[in-house]
A and B are shown apart, each in its own frame.
Chain A
Amino acid sequence: MEAFSLRYEHFWKVAAHSIGWVCIVIGGAVLLAWWLRPEALALSMPMVYAMKFNTALCFVAIGFAFNLAVINGRQAAVALALSAFTGSIAVANLLQHMFAIDFGIDRLLHEPFITIGTDSPGRMTPNAAVCLALVSAAIILTAVMRRNSVARVILGLIVFVIAGSALLGYAIGVESSRNWRPLAQMPLHTAFCFSLLGSGLIFIGARERGYPRSTIAAALGALTYLLLVLLAYMEMLSQDTKLSELLQASGANPRSTLLGIVLLSGALYAGMIIYGFRSAQKYRDVASQLRESEKRLAAIIETAVDGFITIDDRGTVIAVNPACEKIFGYRTAEILQKNVKMLMPAPYRAAHDQYLETYKATRRAGIIGVGREVEGRRKDGSVFPLDLSVAKVELDNQVIYSGIVRDISERKKYEKDLLEANAELEEFSYRTSHDLRSPIASSLGLLSIARDMIETNATEELKPVLGRIETSFRKLDHLIQNIISLTRTKAMEETESRIPIAHVVRETLDRLYYMENAGRLRIDIAIDDDLTILRKASRFQIIIDNLLSNAIKYQDPAKADPEIRIGAAIDDGNLVLTVADNGLGVEPGSEHLLFQMFKRLHPQHSFGSGLGLYILKKSVEQLGGTVSYNRLQEGSLFTVTLPERNHHAH
């Protein structure tokens, strides 16, 4: 449908452009005939010379003016000059006809050697002069207004009717159309040129003016028909007597017979005009609906977030929408006419040709009509997950594939985060249910032993059992405290403040001094007293607590000189906080378990909840930093890195 409409439009354009040139060629040929005076032509086709020299010259001029003003809309001054020239010749001719005077223009440029169909040699016929004047006026109007106008359409209409009726007269051989002197006389080629010019004036630029071409065409048809009927009637009148004799012999009324024929043909003609008009209108409606729906679809595709890629059956990209630029990082021109493989990473890239071949050969669809998750490759080489659905479109003479792609890297990332969070939560609930019950189960066992001891009067053994019950409950309490601080890490609302690091470290050490064996440790603090960082204080405190209590807890009791070295400094825009010890360290191979939930790595020190380093890691991440562990030759080194943010955005 669209292709047809395009062909139709193209035909119109070519037709419009050829009008001026046809006039120039015909006018030029006649001019040449006047100059060269070929005797053979004058004898065999004297009709050629029915177009006078002046008329031929004017057709050449008006042809150029028409091309400039009506078709191209350029060089209005030249068009004006040319049509003013033709117009004045036409008007002068008319004046000569009306007042029977002679300005001498008829033979001014060329002395005619032959006289056909006119009173004075070389004089333009009056109806040709009228048409020329009207066409000139219409072109002047166009050159000034630079578009089609109602006045121009009316002028064109008159020209077309005069020239068209002359043409019709030739076609049906009605004498009066040519011989109806002086107005109806016009040579065939003159009539042809004027009917072209007339229709050009009516129809070119019709769309911009918004009036319906088909309505005008129907009106023109009707008008020409009326004129034809009029001519036929006049012809009949002139031949009346002859006809009456002829027809009365056969016993028929000639008037009613002719009237019947005229009316019948008129009805047929009107019916055809109406049918043509209706179908043209229907076509126009369908075409405009189609254009509208195309526009609507194009708007959706142009603005879609999803990428639309159309390829042919060899994989060459025919069309992409703007979203593809964003998704793949290429400009549209870089993708068009290339093989779609360029948008695919390694495994797909190599296999794609094979996909297409297999599909063409076997019709076995891998992806067509289904849609699946594949990988795409951006211009910078990065690979990302995308959802792809492909539809096959069978056109008249080829098969194309239309693909819709959606970048799902974001969604995949959220999915992964969510799965991780879920797994962590599951682990948390499993471990808490275990670790919370564990000290209670021990206490219950110990209580029943204590009761047994009381019953058997073994009271001297009771005291250590009570001590065990106490440690069991302390363990439970410690775990619950940890869980509370963990949930606080996750949910706490707090404003940031400047934290004096050296001060916080010293204060924490004072508090932890009562831990088992804390007094044995030599503690070295290398932190500038002025060093501060802008962070949430309670979370920072959790970090310091964990680092220091771990260092004290996991000291090596076998060593004579256990020590902790604490340092902090700004390095490359980051606060780097280090806690090193010469303690028990971590078994090689189990470092990856360090920061995980509920991992306890020291066999003899079961008092840890297994949450300490996990809480440390979560707290550091909450503050936008990272924590790492390094094994030292003796002991461990924990490093916390927090980016310094002087101009904080919160």
Chain B
Amino acid sequence: MRIKSILTVDDDDNDLFICAYTIRKFDPEITTLTATNGAEALAVLRTTTPDAIILDINMPVMNGFEFLEHYAREFSVHAPVVAMLTSSHLNADREKAMGYYFVKSYFEKPLTLTNLRLMAGLLGLPPERPLTPPGSAP
């Protein structure tokens, strides 16, 4: 399966830039959509369904968790999501994000090419198979 479009959600301009650059490096064919908070992301998702969502958790107005809740409740079709965590040491954040079936994995910032390769691999798998998040082993 080939990824055609990715929605990146982050309030930090630099992080959005890093995502866009890394995705272009990974596959220049991929269309990158952007949103600066959860509310904007929901607005984008109402018009189009991307192949994947890269989601920041700490954002003003509507943060990543609030977004996931709205997304689960208000949408019937869910694009696979990977969460971007500032630090994977915050257990509560990790578990909370992974509680949604459409959240496939989480990565620690900043986004790298390796992360994207892993993500592409994950998306090829059937969604009901339990996934071992990369980086969970020390």
Residues in B neighbouring A449, C-beta threshold 8 A: 18, 21-22
A622 proximal to B (CB < 8 A): no
Q: Are B86 and A438 in contact (CB under 8 A)?
A: yes
Contacts of A81 in B (CB 8 A): none
Q: Does B69 contact A (CB under 8 A)?
A: no
Residues from chain A with a CB closer than 8 A to the CB of B37 are: 603
Please encode chain A, from 413 to 431, with 1 for each CB lying within 8 Å of some chain B CB and 0 for all others. Answer: 0000000000000000010
Within the complex, the shortest CB–CB distance from B70 to chain A, in Å, comes to 15
Among A438, A445, A587, residue most surrounded by chain B Cβ atoms (within 10 Å): A445
Are B18 and A446 neighbours in the complex by a CB distance under 8 Å? yes
Distance in angstroms between the alpha carbons of A468 and B109 in the assembled complex: 16
A601 at the interface (CB under 8 A from B): yes
Q: Is the CB of A606 within 8 A of B13?
A: yes
CB within 8 Å for A448 and B13 given contacts A434-B87, A438-B58, A603-B61: no
Smallest Cβ-Cβ distance to B60: which chain A residue: A600
Judged by a CB distance under 8 angstroms, whether B127 is at the interface is no
Q: Given A445-B15, A472-B14, A603-B11, does the pair A434, B58 have CB atoms closer than 8 Å? A: yes
B18 touches A442 (CB 8 A): yes
Which residues of B sit under 8 angstroms from A604, Cβ to Cβ?
Answer: 36
1/0 per residue, CB under 8 A from A, across B58-98: the answer is 10110000000000000000000000001101100000000
Interface status of B12 (Cβ within 8 A of chain A): yes
Which residues 79-124 of B have a CB within 8 angstroms of A? 86-87, 89-90, 108-112
Chain A's nearest CB lies how many Å from the CB of B34? 13
A471 within 8 A of B: yes
Chain A residues whose C-beta falls within 8 Å of the C-beta of B11 in the assembled complex: 603, 606
Is A441 interfacial (CB-CB < 8 Å)?
A: yes
Residue B17 at the A interface, CB < 8 A? yes
Number of interface residues of B (CB under 8 A): 25
Residue B4, interface by CB 8 Å: no
Do A448 and B112 touch (CB < 8 A)? Answer: yes
Residue of A nearest to B40 (CB): A603
Q: Is the beta-carbon distance between B14 and A603 smaller than 8 angstroms? A: no
Which chain A positions have C-beta within 8 A of B12? 438, 442, 606
The majority secondary structure among interface residues of chain B is loop
Chain B residues with CB below 8 A from A430, complex form: 90
Contacts of A606 in B (CB 8 A): 11-13, 36, 60
A435 to B90, CA, bound (A): 13
Q: How far is the CB of B83 from chain A (nearest CB, A)?
A: 13
Is the CB–CB distance between A442 and B60 below 8 Å?
no
Q: Are the CB atoms of B110 and A448 closer together than 8 Å?
A: yes
Shortest CB-to-CB span from B111 to chain A, Å, is: 7
A379 within 8 A of partner (CB): no
B60→A603 contact, CB < 8 A: yes
Interface pair B15/A434, CB less than 8 Å apart:
no
Of A433, A437, A446, A452, which one neighbours B14 at CB under 8 angstroms? Answer: A446
Please name all residues of chain B whose beta carbon is closer than 8 Å to the beta carbon of A601 when the two chains form the complex: 60-61
A438 lies within 8 A of B36 (CB): no
Task: Give the residue of A452, A602, A603 whose beta carbon is less than 8 angstroms from that of B25.
Answer: A452
Q: What is the chain B residue whose CB lies nearest that of A610?
A: B60
Q: Which residue of chain B lies nearest to A593 when distances are taken between CB atoms in the complex? A: B60
**A445-B110 in contact (CB<8A):** yes
User: Using a CB-CB cutoff of 8 Å, which residues 323-349 of chain A contact chain B?
Assistant: none
Residue of B nearest to A587 (CB): B61
Q: Which of A432-456 contact B (CB under 8 A)?
A: 433-435, 437-438, 441-442, 444-446, 448-449, 452
Whether the Cβ atoms of B110 and A441 lie closer than 8 Å is: yes
**B60 near A602: Cβ-Cβ < 8 Å:** yes
A433 partner, pick from B13, B40, B90, B112, beta carbons under 8 A:
B90
A498–B25 Cα distance when bound, in Å, is 61
When distances are taken between beta carbons in the complex, the residues of chain A under 8 Å from B25 are 452
B18 pairs with A445, CB closer than 8 A: yes
Q: Is B36's CB under 8 angstroms from A468's CB?
A: no
Q: Mark B25-49, 1 if CB is under 8 A from A, else 0.
A: 1000000000011001000000000
CA separation between A123 and B25, bound complex, in Å?
147
Distance in Å: Cβ of B91 to nearest Cβ of chain A: 11
Is the pair B109, A433 in contact by a Cβ cutoff of 8 Å? Answer: no
- Give residues in B with beta carbon < 8 Å to A: 11-15, 17-18, 21-22, 25, 36-37, 40, 58, 60-61, 86-87, 89-90, 108-112
Instruction: Identify the A interface with B (CB < 8 A).
Output: 430, 433-435, 437-438, 441-442, 444-446, 448-449, 452, 468, 471-472, 587, 599-604, 606
A/B interface sample: 20 pairs, CB < 8 A: A437-B87, A438-B12, A438-B58, A438-B86, A438-B109, A441-B108, A441-B109, A442-B15, A442-B18, A442-B110, A445-B112, A452-B25, A599-B60, A603-B11, A603-B36, A603-B40, A603-B60, A603-B61, A606-B13, A606-B36
Give 20 new A-B contacts, CB below 8 A, not counting A441-B110, A448-B112: A430-B90, A433-B87, A434-B87, A437-B87, A438-B86, A438-B109, A441-B86, A442-B18, A444-B110, A445-B15, A445-B111, A446-B17, A446-B110, A449-B18, A449-B21, A468-B13, A471-B14, A606-B12, A606-B13, A606-B36
